[in-house]
A and B are shown apart, each in its own frame.
Chain A
Amino acid sequence: MNAGHDPAPFDVVRLRADFPILAQKVHGRELVFLDSAASAQKPRAVIAAMTAAMERQYANVHRGLHWMSERTTEAYEGARDAVARLLGAPDRHEIVFTRNSTEAINLVAHSYGRGVLAPGQAVVISEMEHHSNIVPWQMLRDAHGIELRVAPITDAGELDLEALARQLADGKVGLVALTHMSNVLGTYTPAARLARLAHDHGAKLLLDGSQAIVHRAVDVEDIGCDFYVFTGHKLYGPTGIGALWARRELLERMPPFLGGGDMISSVSFARSEWAQVPHKFEAGTPPILEAIGLAAAIAYVEAIGYPAIAAHEAALTDHALSRLAAIPGLTIFGRAQDRGGVVSFTLDGAHPHDVATLLDRQGIAVRAGHHCAEPLMHRLGVESTARASFALYTTLAEIDALAEGLLRVSEFFA
């Protein structure tokens, strides 16, 4: 992508015009959408790609011996190529489509966890994981006798690498499963270093890239990890589509997750033979339209270019951290050296839900709650926080609106 020509200069006003929803008003005010870490808005290119498929070129994939099915199969498999390119995967057969990151992690916990890991081995996660990277491992622990270890974070909100190394030291750990970027603290984890650390102790590394891949280029070969998962709807794509990348030799060793059509090579009542990877893991009619939408989202992001997106979001995050730090009674959670555009905070005298309601009345959408990270809330000593999160379409003026809105919230509850 982009080989041979530079992308257009980053122009947030022009890019915002690509997202029809940003012109909507809420409570009679301009929408200031600062909840993209929960789910991002969709550019016209994604909407158009999905609409065009439904209007002009749609059938089931991998089965019909007719023009519509063949073209739709090409589009669906083209989406697999797009994901492979996005992740720097060496082999397109290493991309498994799932419903979202949660399903991708459950797939690994089930198929690798029960099929390859042996009872008595351990899985390590961290204190700053999303529930989607906690609960599947608890289920594996309870069903399969796998020990679950939790690596601590530092007060700055970074992984405690020394503690993690100690947890790996006895050689029992078969898999390390960590976020690549915290959805609460914004912390980027040192992915390549984590891969070396895991491999030095005989463990594989899974990274949850749900947040990370929205903001920075990811190359699984450069990182050296073994599994990488992400979800489409945070990357400006539709809901209902996510992906797992895993090294082919691992996928070959893993038994299927779900059984059904499309994942078999032959079926009789006595036994069935599995299809080749990745189809072995894609039972039933897949999310065809969603895959087409995801491919359009990836093309959209690649055309803008990750370096430009990352630079824009770094400026937004710096501005937000300095504006919010100047608000009396406001506490920001997480001060990692390497962080992305997610800022969690509390405001003295106002519960995060009250903060969110009062911001909403000013047209400003933030998330309030535990962000599907209750153990992390406990570690931070709070029940919940408010969270502002940024996307490629976020502007500095919107950060200013947030800061001014928060001052009004403070006055209201003073």
Chain B
Amino acid sequence: MFEDLRDLYQEVILDHGRKPRHGAKLAAYDATARGDNPLCGDRIALWLQYTPDGHIARAGFEAKGCAISIASADLMAEVVAGLDADAARALAGALQTLAKTGAAPALDAPLAERLARLLPLAGVHEFPSRVKCATLPWHALLAALAGTENATSE
């Protein structure tokens, strides 16, 4: 029945949507931001902890949202660990392109590996109403990196 939905709901998405590994507030953090999608009511709160030299040490989140947005947030928390702000922003830009077009932009090797982990999110590009579900956590990431505390996927 749902064969054609397997692009959208790949096992990785269902798994991380159901059991997020990073779905908790960090006890200590250096930056935080909220993301809201006013159209659908999805919400995310994101916390980042930095290393002394300004790399992202860890990310944690609490979210109310669909399988796509939770999985995207969880995969994001996984792949941004160890990145500095510029690299994290580049990865966020690549994810947005991936979600909107289904194609992964070319990135340098270390980032390309991390982007490969996000490829299961490419399926949303065929579902225009769901693209924002995948990008919302990344809007929150950009806001946290910029030190602004509110983001929207609008």
Contacts and interface: CB of A to CB of B under 8 A. Distances in A.
B5 A361 contact: yes
Given A357-B8, A370-B40, A412 B2 contact: yes
Contacts of A27: 4
A351 B67 contact: yes
A351 B66 contact: yes
B41 A374 contact: yes
B57 interface: no
Given A351-B67, A412-B9, A358 B40 contact: no
B41 A351 contact: no
Contacts of B68: 353-354
Interface string A340-373: 0000000001111110011001100000111000
Contacts of A362: 1
Contacts of A354: 9, 66-68
A247 interface: no
A357 B5 contact: yes
B88 to A, nearest CB: 26
Given A351-B67, A383-B64, A408 B2 contact: yes
A369 B39 contact: yes
Contacts of B64: 383
B44 to A, nearest CB: 11
A370 B41 CA distance: 6
Given A354-B67, A357-B127, A413 B4 contact: no
Nearest to A385: B41
B1 A369 contact: no
B128 to A, nearest CB: 11
A353 B40 contact: yes
B145 interface: no
B2 A384 contact: no
A353 B1 contact: no
A37 B39 CA distance: 17
A361 B67 contact: no
A369 B40 contact: yes
27 contacts: A350-B67, A351-B67, A352-B66, A353-B40, A353-B65, A353-B66, A353-B130, A353-B133, A354-B66, A357-B127, A357-B130, A358-B2, A361-B1, A361-B2, A361-B4, A361-B5, A369-B41, A370-B41, A374-B41, A383-B43, A383-B65, A408-B1, A412-B2, A412-B5, A412-B9, A413-B14, A413-B18
The 10 closest A-B pairs by CB, nearest first: A351-B66, A353-B66, A383-B41, A384-B41, A370-B41, A383-B64, A369-B40, A354-B66, A354-B67, A361-B5
Given A349-B18, A354-B67, A354-B68, 14 more contacts: A351-B67, A353-B66, A353-B130, A354-B9, A357-B127, A361-B4, A362-B1, A370-B40, A370-B41, A383-B42, A383-B43, A412-B9, A413-B18, A413-B67
